[in-house]
Structure 1
Amino acid sequence: MAAVSRAAMHMPPVPNREDLEATWKYLEAGVNKIMINLADGIDMNTYMGVYTAVHNFCTSQKAVNTNNGGQIGGAHRGAHLLGEDLYQNLITYLTQYLSGLVEKSKTHSDEALLTFYIKEWDRYTTSAKYVNHLFRYLNRHWVKREMDEGKKNIYDVYTLHLVQWRLTLFEQTNKKVMAAVLKMVEKQRHGETIEHGQIKSIVESFVSLGLDESDPTKSTLDVYRYSFERPFLEATKVFYQTESAQFTAENSIVEYMKKAEARLAEEAERVPMYLHPDIEKPLTKCCNTALIADHSAILRDEFQVLLDHDRYEDMERMYNLLARIPDGLEPLRSRFEAHVRKAGLAAVAKISTEGDKLDPKTYVDALLEIHTQYQGLVAKAFKDEPEFTRSLDNACKEFVNRNAVCKSGSNKSPELLAKHCDHLLKRSTNGTEESDLEATLTQIMTVFKYIEDKDVFQKFYSRMLARRLVHTSSSSDDAETSMISKLKEACGYEYTNKLQRMFQDMQISKDLNSGFKDFQAGLDSDIKPIDATYSILGTGFWPLSPPNTDFTPPAEVAKALQRFAQFYGQKHSGRKLTYLWQMCKGEIKANYCKNSKTPFTFQVSAYQMAILLLFNDNDKNDYEAIRATTQLAPDQLDPSLSILLKAKVLIMSGGDGSDKVGSGKMFALNYEFKSKKIRIQLNMAIKADQKQEAEETHKTIEEDRKLLMQSAIVRIMKARKTMKHNLLVSECINQIKSRFMPKISDIKKCIDILLEKEYLERLEDDELGYLA
C-alpha cells in the first residue's frame, strides 16, 4: 500500500471537472501513454485517474473554457454538450497521430511497407481497445444518446479509431499497400516462397475497416471489396491472360490443360491460406474466364482429336475444365453424340455386307461393343453426367434404328435382336453358365432400350418363345422368366401379358397330360397306345396360325387323337380343338437298316412321320400316292421329302431323272442307311415356312399398329371431346411412341377410317369432335 500511495503522490491531481482544457490535457497524457508506449503498460493510478476525469467532466453542470473565456453552457445543457467536446478533441488527437504515421510510411516500400503497416495497425487497434475502455462512460451516455437520436458520424470510441484510420492513413496508403501485396502474390505464382501471414493480416485489417454508415454497430465488406478484392481480381486476370496466351503459343493443348488444372488448384489453396472466404467465388470466376473461357474454342477443337484417339484421361481433364464455365460442355456433348453415331454406323456397315446371312449375334455384339465402349467413356471421363448420358442414348438410338442393315428405319433391328434372344434361350451345348446367361440378357435389354419399334420385337419374340415352349427347347424356365421380367419392367404389364399366359398354358398342359395318362390306363384295350404329349394353347394368347395345308394323320396317330378328344371333351365341353400340325413332332424307330444292330431313332415332324409310316406297308411309294394319302400340299410335302432324301433315309428314282421332287418320282427306303449317331434329327426348319412366317409376322404387325393407333385416337378424343387435327396427331404420337414411332400419314389414315365409322366428326376450323 505504501508503494501505491507514493506512486499516487507523483501523479498530477485529477483536474477540475468543469475545466475543459485542463481535463483534456490530463486525458491526452494518458491516451498518449497508451498509444505510444503501450508496451510499457499503464499503471492502475493512471488508468483510474483518466477514467475518473472522463466521468467527472461528463457529469459536471458547468465547464469553463479558457480558450474563449466564457461558459460553454448553463446547467440546463448538462453533460450532453460536454461529452461532445471530449469527443472532438479525441478526433483531433487521432488525426494528428495518424498523420505522423502517414509521413513515416512514405519512407517504406514493398514488403517493408507491409511490415510497417501491419505493425502499426496491430499497435493502433490494441491501443484503441484500451482507450475505448477508459472512455466507456462517454460511450454509455453521450455517444449512446447521440446515436439514439439518429446523429450521423457518431461512433463508440473504438469504432472512432477505425474510422479515423480509414479517413487519415488508409486513404493515403492503401494503394501502395495493395501494390506491395500484389507483388508478393505474383512472386508466389512464379514459385517463390513468401510470408503469406503478412497478406492475411492486411486482408483482416481491410475487412475491419468496413463500417455500415447507416448503422455503425454493423460491419460491411465494402472497404475490403473495393480496395483489396477488386485490384486483386484485376491483377489475377491480367496475370493469367498473359501467361496462358504465351503458354498456348509454345505448348500443346493437352499440356495447357495440365497447366490450367495446376493453376486452378493453386488459386483454390490460396483462399484458405491468406484470403477472405468472400473472394472464393469471384476469384474462381476470374480464373475460369482467363484460363478456360478465353481458350474454350481451341479446347473444343482438340476434343475431336482426343475422341479419335480414345484419350480418356485427357478428355476427363477437358471435361473438368469446361464444366467450370457456363455452357462450356454443350458443344462437347454435340460432338460426342455425332462421334458415337458415326462409330456405331461404321461398326454396322462392316458387317452389313453379309445381307440375309447376317448372324443376329454378330449384329447385336457390334451394337453392344460401341455402346459399352462409350458408356465406359461417359462413366470415366464425364462422371456419368446426365446430359452426356443423354447424348450417348440419342446416338445409340440413331445407329440402332437407322443403319446399313436397317435401311432407313425398317424392322430389322428388333427382328435380329429377337432372333439373338431365341438363340441364347434355346437349349444348346454351348455350355453357357446361368450367371453368364443372365448377364447377357441384361446386355440384350440395353439394346432393347434403344429400339423404337418395340412392337416388332414383341411379335418375333412371342413367336420364337412359342416354339421354344412347344418344342421344350428352352435352356431353362428361370432364364425365360427372367427375360420376361426384364421386358415387363421396361414396357409394362400389357407388353408381356400374353407371354406370361403362354407359360401358364404350358403348366396347365402338364397337369392335363397327367390326367390323360390315368384316363388311358382305365380303358380296356388290346392296342398299346402311342406315347403322346399334348399342349393346349389358348387361341388369344399364342401367336400361332392353323396349318396352311390339309393333312391326314397316320392311323396310329388318329386313334390316339380320338382318345384324347374324348378325354378333353369330358373336362371341357363345348371347346374346339384345332391341331397345329406344323408344330407337331415325334420320334419313330427304324428297324429295317441292315448295317445297324441297334435301331435308329428318327426325330421327325408330323408330316415326315406320316410319310415314313407309309413304308411300313410298301417298300416303295410314288409321289402321287404319298400326296393322296397324307393330303399334304406340295409346298409342305416337297420340302419334307427333300430332307428325307438329303439325309439318305429315302432314295428317289424315276420321272425325268432330275433331282427335283415332284410328280412321277418313286421313293424307296434305303436299307443301306448309315449314321454314326443312333438318334438322327430330321425335323429341320423349312426356309419357305420361315420366310412365310416372317411375312405373316410383318402383316400382323401392320394390322396391330392400325388398331393401336385407332384405339389411341378414340381414347384421346373421348377424354377431350373436341381437338385440333394437328394436336390430335401430336398427342397420338406421344402415347404410342413407347411401342413404335408412328408415321403421321398412317395416323391421318386412321383418323379418316374413324370418320367413316362415325367415331369422329369434322367441325369448323380444322377441328375434330368425338361422337359417343
Structure 2
Amino acid sequence: MSSRKRPKRKTRPPKKPNAVYQFTDSWDILAQAIREIHKKNASILGFEGLYRVAFRIVLHKNGDKLYNGVREIITQHLEEVAVSQVVPAFPLSGASSSQTNPNGAGRANFLKVLKTVWEDHITCMLMLSDILKYMDRVYAKPANVPLVYDLGLDLFRDIIVRSQNYPIQNHLLEVLLQQIMLERENEIIDRTNVKASIDMLLELTDASTKDTIYAIDFENKFLESSSEYYRVEGQMLVGEYDTSDYMKEVDKRLNKEEQRVGHYLSPTTEPKIRNIVEEELISKHLKTIIEKGLIPVLRNEKMNDLGRMYKLFGRVVKGHDEMKSAISDYIRELGKAINETVTSNTTAEGGNAVSVDKQTEVTVALRWVQKVLDLSDKFDKVQNLALSNDETFQTSFNEAFEYFINKNPKSPEFISLFIDDNLKKGLKGETEKEIGSVLNKAITLFRFVEEKDVFERYYKQHLAKRLLLGHSVNDGAEKRTISKLEIVSGYQFTTKLEEMFNNMRISSNTMSDFKE
C-alpha cells in the first residue's frame, strides 16, 4: 500500500446565480405588486414576501436599479392619474362657481377629486415604505437620495401640483381663493376639501428652498387677494354703517379670520391676515371713525361700543393716540361750555358786568364746581367701564381738565366756596364715608388749579369765618381737609391754616378759664 497521501481537493463555493436574471425576476414581482397597490388591490398581496424580495435585490447590490424602477412606476402612475382624474375635474375657464365642466365637476368638486387623489397616493406610499424599508436604510440614505416616501411626495409635487403639462396649480390656487371668498360672503363651503388641499400644500416642499408649497405658491396670493378684498370692504362698510355697527363688523371679521385659520389654514398665516384686516379696516379709517362716531358714543355713554373701539384701536399704531386726542378735545369743549355758562350767569345781557350779591356768587360757584365734578364722574365711568383704567388715557383726561379749569380765573375761589359751603352745612348728618367722598372730589379739582396761592387766600378767609362764627359743624372734617391739602401742596401751604386752628383752641381755652 502506497504511503503517499492523496492530495486534498479544494472546495469551491457554489456558483452565484445569474445576478441579471435574479434582479429581473424579482423586479417583475415587485413591479406587479406596486401596480396592484395603485389599483387598490393590496389585500391580495403578501407584504412579508415582498419585503424579502426587495431585501434580496438590495443585498445583491441592485439598490439603484430598484430605486429607479420604483420611481419610474410611481411617475407613470401619477401621469395617468393626472390625465384620467385631475384634468377632467377642471372647472370651466371663467365659469361661475355654479357652473360645471362637461363631466359635471364644478370648482368645489375639483378639490374633492384632488383630495381623493392625494389620500390614495399617501396610502400607497405608506405601503411602499413598509415594503422598501431595507432599501431606504441600506441604499437611499448612503446614496443621499430621498427615502421612498419622500420620493413619492416630490413626484406628486412635480407631476400633479406643479405639473408642466397641465395647469393644475393655477386651478388649485384659483379654486381655493374662490372658496375662501365665498365663505367670507357667508356662503357655505366644504371645509373638509379645502383643508385637505391646504394640508397637502403644507406637506409638500420646494426642491430648492425647502419651504412648503403652501408658503411659496398659496400664502402670498391669499394675502394679496385678502388685502384687496378688505380694502374694498372697508370703503363700503365705513360709508354704509354707523360707527357702532362698523366696529361690530370689524370685530366680527377679525374673529372669522382667526377661526378660518383654525379650521384649515396654517397657524403661521394668522398674524399676517390679522395685520391685513387691522390695516384695511381700522388704520386706514381711524380719523373717519373718530370724526363720525366717537363723540355720539361718548355723549350717549355707550360703554360697550366705546370699549370695543378702545380694544380695536389698540391693535394698530397710533390708534389709542388718536382716540385720546379726540376725547381730550371733547373734554375741553365741554369744559369751555361750562365756563361760558358761568360767565353768562354773571354778566348782563349787554355784556357789562353787574354786581351780584354774595348768595348769587356762591350759587354760581357751587353750580360750576358741581358741573365740573359731574363731568369728572362721567369720564371716571368711561375709564372704568370702557378703557380698562388705562393710565395714559387718564393722564390725557387730567390735562384736559386742568386746561379748562384754569381758563376760568375764578376757579380757585369757586372751589374754596364749594368746600366752605359743604363744611358749613352740607356735611351735617353725613357718614364718614360720604364726608370723605365729598372732600376727595373737591381736592381732585384743587390738584388741577395752577394758582394755588389764590386758592389759599380764599380758603383762609372762608375758614376764618367758619371758625369765628362757629359755622364749622365738624372739626374732624376740617382737619381731614387740611391734611389732604397738605398732601397736594406740601406742609408750608397748610402751616397757617393749622395755626388758625391752634389759635382758636387757645382762645376757647382762655374763655373757659375766664368763665371759671
* Distance (Å, rounded) in 1 between the aligned partners of 2:316 and 2:503: 61
1:476-487 correspondence runs (5 A): 476-487=474-485
Q: 1:466 to 1:161 in 2, by over 3 A?
A: farther
Shift of 1:347: 0.6
* Distance (Å, rounded) in 2 between the aligned partners of 1:429 and 1:132: 89
Q: 1:290 to 1:460 in 2, by over 3 A?
A: same
Q: Does 2:15 correspond to 1:54?
A: no
Q: Tell me which of 20, 25, 29 is aligned to 2:28.
A: 25
Shift of 1:117: 0.8
1:312-711 correspondence runs (5 A): 312=302, 314-352=305-343, 353-354=345-346, 357=358, 358-359=361-362, 360-403=365-408, 406=409, 412-426=410-424, 430-458=428-456, 460-461=458-459, 474-490=472-488, 505=502, 513=509, 532-533=511-512, 560=514
Q: Tell me which of 125, 130, 133 is aligned to 1:128.
A: 125
Partners of 1:15 and 1:53 within 8 A in 2 = no
Partners of 1:306 and 1:315 within 8 A in 2 = no
Q: 1:507 to 1:87 in 2, by over 3 A?
A: farther
In structure 2, list runs of 5 or more residues that go unmatched: 1-16, 91-106, 348-355
Secondary structure of the residue aligned to 1:210 is coil
* Distance (Å, rounded) in 2 between the aligned partners of 1:143 and 1:347: 85
Q: 1:108 to 1:400 in 2, by over 3 A?
A: same
* Distance (Å, rounded) in 2 between the aligned partners of 1:469 and 1:141: 105
1:258-297 correspondence runs (5 A): 258-297=248-287
* Distance (Å, rounded) in 1 between the aligned partners of 2:263 and 2:432: 58
Report what 2:86 is aligned to: 105
* Distance (Å, rounded) in 1 between the aligned partners of 2:33 and 2:125: 13
Report what 2:95 is aligned to: none
Shift of 1:344: 0.3
Letter in 1 for 2:154: V
1:206-245 correspondence runs (5 A): 206-210=201-205, 220=211, 222-245=212-235
* Distance (Å, rounded) in 2 between the aligned partners of 1:422 and 1:254: 44
Per-residue CA distance 1:224-257 (angstroms, 9 max, x = gap): 1222322222232333333444455555555444
Report what 1:175 is aligned to: 170
Q: 1:54 to 1:422 in 2, by over 3 A?
A: same
Letter in 2 for 1:439: S
Report what 1:590 is aligned to: none
Partners of 1:34 and 1:42 within 8 A in 2 = no
Letter in 2 for 1:118: K
Q: 1:467 to 1:181 in 2, by over 3 A?
A: same
More strand by share: 1
Q: 1:494 to 1:208 in 2, by over 3 A?
A: farther
Q: 1:502 to 1:270 in 2, by over 3 A?
A: farther
* Distance (Å, rounded) in 2 between the aligned partners of 1:456 and 1:424: 20
Shift of 1:300: 3.2
* Distance (Å, rounded) in 2 between the aligned partners of 1:454 and 1:116: 81
Report what 1:744 is aligned to: none
Per-residue CA distance 1:27-64 (angstroms, 9 max, x = gap): 222223333316x5354xx212221122222222xxxx
Per-residue CA distance 1:496-544 (angstroms, 9 max, x = gap): 67767877x589959x95xxxxxxxxxxxxxxxxx8247xxxxxxxxxx
Letter in 1 for 2:143: E
Q: What is the aligned length? A: 464
Shift of 1:287: 1.9
Q: 1:320 to 1:225 in 2, by over 3 A?
A: same
Secondary structure of the residue aligned to 1:234 is helix
With normalisation by structure 1, the TM-score equals 0.54
Letter in 2 for 1:416: F
Partners of 2:242 and 2:293 within 8 A in 1 = no
Partners of 1:16 and 1:23 within 8 A in 2 = no
Secondary structure of the residue aligned to 1:54 is helix
Partners of 1:319 and 1:329 within 8 A in 2 = yes
Q: Tell me which of 94, 108, 113 is aligned to 2:74.
A: 94
* Distance (Å, rounded) in 1 between the aligned partners of 2:177 and 2:184: 10
**Which deviates the most, 325-334 or 119-128?**
325-334
Per-residue CA distance 1:388-407 (angstroms, 9 max, x = gap): 3232122101011123xx1x
Partners of 2:428 and 2:473 within 8 A in 1 = no
Secondary structure of the residue aligned to 1:191 is coil
Report what 1:202 is aligned to: 197
* Distance (Å, rounded) in 2 between the aligned partners of 1:15 and 1:207: 46
* Distance (Å, rounded) in 2 between the aligned partners of 1:339 and 1:233: 38
* Distance (Å, rounded) in 2 between the aligned partners of 1:146 and 1:339: 75
Partners of 1:98 and 1:168 within 8 A in 2 = yes
* Distance (Å, rounded) in 2 between the aligned partners of 1:493 and 1:175: 80
Q: 1:138 to 1:423 in 2, by over 3 A?
A: same
Q: Tell me which of 142, 145, 166 is aligned to 2:139.
A: 142
* Distance (Å, rounded) in 2 between the aligned partners of 1:133 and 1:501: 98
Secondary structure of the residue aligned to 1:532 is helix
Letter in 2 for 1:100: E
Q: 1:433 to 1:23 in 2, by over 3 A?
A: same
Shift of 1:319: 4.0
Q: Does 2:121 correspond to 1:116?
A: no
Letter in 2 for 1:290: E
Report what 2:64 is aligned to: 84
In structure 1, list runs of 5 or more residues that go unmatched: 1-13, 61-78, 148-153, 407-411, 514-530, 535-559, 564-772
Q: Which has the higher contact order (CA 8 A, sep 6+)?
A: 2
Give the CA RMSD over aligned residues: 3.6
Shift of 1:102: 1.5
**Larger Cα Rg: Structure 1 or Structure 2?**
1
* Distance (Å, rounded) in 2 between the aligned partners of 1:49 and 1:381: 72
* Distance (Å, rounded) in 2 between the aligned partners of 1:175 and 1:142: 37
Secondary structure of the residue aligned to 1:442 is helix
* Distance (Å, rounded) in 2 between the aligned partners of 1:493 and 1:135: 91
